[in-house]
Amino acid sequence: MLKKFSLVFLLLLLMTTGCNLLFASENLPYIEAFGPNEIECHSFYHYTFDDQGLNYIGLKRYDLVSETDQDIYIVENPEIQELTGFYGDDDGVYYVVTTSQEQSKESILFYYDLNLGTMEELLTDENHIGVYKESTTNEVMVKTKTQSYSANKGTLQYLDDCGYTGRAEYSHESNVELVTDDGTMVEINKEYKERNFTYTINGTTNVITALSDCGGSESGVYRNFVIEGDNVVGIVQITKGTQGGITPTNCIPANKLKKEVLVSFNYKTGESEILYNTKSNAIRIIGYSDGNVFLYKKGKIICRHLNNGDEEELYKLSYKGNGQLTFNWVGRNLVIFDEDNLQVVANIKT
């Protein structure tokens, strides 16, 4: 079964239609939400721009069944207000509105109840408010600089930890944490310029030997891992470093990506193997589940069955824009989204 993962790598705070493209992306498409997964949801939320295409001033909900957009919120004063974070599902959506003036800044967390059609103000802070789903506990988390809360259907519960932490975008180290069925924490680690990828369980560190000869000394690890039985399976990008550190997965130009590999290792025995190797940057690995790897190749979405090597074309992308594309898995739905122009370009049921 597909298991939950948790990323401890980048800042938690890293977080419309038509042919009038505002940007031209120089970076490769990347996975924003890994899958296929067990999420049961028919909602995909996204921002809208101001007239200049610079600030996020609105929030929409894209319905995966009807394939239509619903307006959720738009700021009252776009000159000083913008949306700076959100998390939503089929019950409702949390979103953060930040007001910036000459000598002050204020962020407010709201909750919009989809069933009731009501909006409620939940929290105010002088700094940034982050909102996201913690995938190891399946809880919606709200964090300020000093405080943390769990959120459930529009209510907040105070937690004892002291707020958000994070690393610089171009970091020298990366790690991903996963929790097994029996509650064991598996931590995958990779440092810049180090040859070996490692994993740690109960204080003991082991080398993922299958990755040792992949040429990934400048590469890192990201949240694109799952646990299946005793095996950890995930995607590793073999990249050239940037600015003296690991290049973030969402900032990779074509000339920085050497290839991608799908790796599997048994966290109990330490045995590891490469399940699939793209061998170049012409093919992207965009998902994995139950022995099937999903690929993006020349505008096509392909499902490759690892047991026999057979490939099945699922979708051919007709979108001709040149914005930054992301792959977002919501259950078995693959939503391809243009992050530069803030529009859904494909909704694929796999």
- 129 with 177, same domain: the answer is no
- 83 with 153, same domain: the answer is yes
What averages of pLDDT result for each successive group of 10 residues across the chain (350 residues)? Answer: 35 34 70 95 97 93 97 96 97 98 94 97 96 84 94 94 59 90 93 96 96 95 95 96 86 94 97 98 97 97 97 95 95 97 96
Full-model pTM? 0.89
Boundary of a domain, candidates 103, 134, 159? 159
- 134 with 195, same domain: the answer is no
- 195 with 260, same domain: the answer is yes
Rounded distance between C-alpha atoms, residue 283 and residue 280, angstroms: 7
Compute, in degrees rounded to 10, the torsion defined by CA atoms 16, 41, 87, 150.
170
- 61 with 127, same domain: the answer is yes
- Is residue 205 included in any domain, yes or no? yes
Rounded distance between C-alpha atoms, residue 326 and residue 319, angstroms: 13
- 192 with 141, same domain: the answer is no
Rounded distance between C-alpha atoms, residue 303 and residue 306, angstroms: 9
- 320 with 239, same domain: the answer is yes
Task: Give me the pLDDT at residue 337, please.
Answer: 98
Rounded distance between C-alpha atoms, residue 86 and residue 265, angstroms: 34
Query: How many CB atoms lie under 10 A from the CB of residue 265?
Result: 25
Task: Give me the pLDDT at residue 169, please.
Answer: 58
Domain containing residue 76: 43-159
- Is residue 200 included in any domain, yes or no? yes
- 153 with 186, same domain: the answer is no
Task: Give me the pLDDT at residue 241, please.
Answer: 82
Rounded distance between C-alpha atoms, residue 163 and residue 149, angstroms: 9
- 82 with 210, same domain: the answer is no
Closest CA to 274 of 255, 256, 259, 252: 259
Task: Give me the pLDDT at residue 21, please.
Answer: 37
- 99 with 193, same domain: the answer is no
- 194 with 81, same domain: the answer is no
The owner of tokens 């470093």 is 241
- Is residue 38 included in any domain, yes or no? no
Task: Give me the pLDDT at residue 163, please.
Answer: 63
Residue 307: what residue type? N
125-174 pLDDT per residue, tens? 999 999 999 877 778 999 999 999 999 999 999 998 766 555 555 678 99
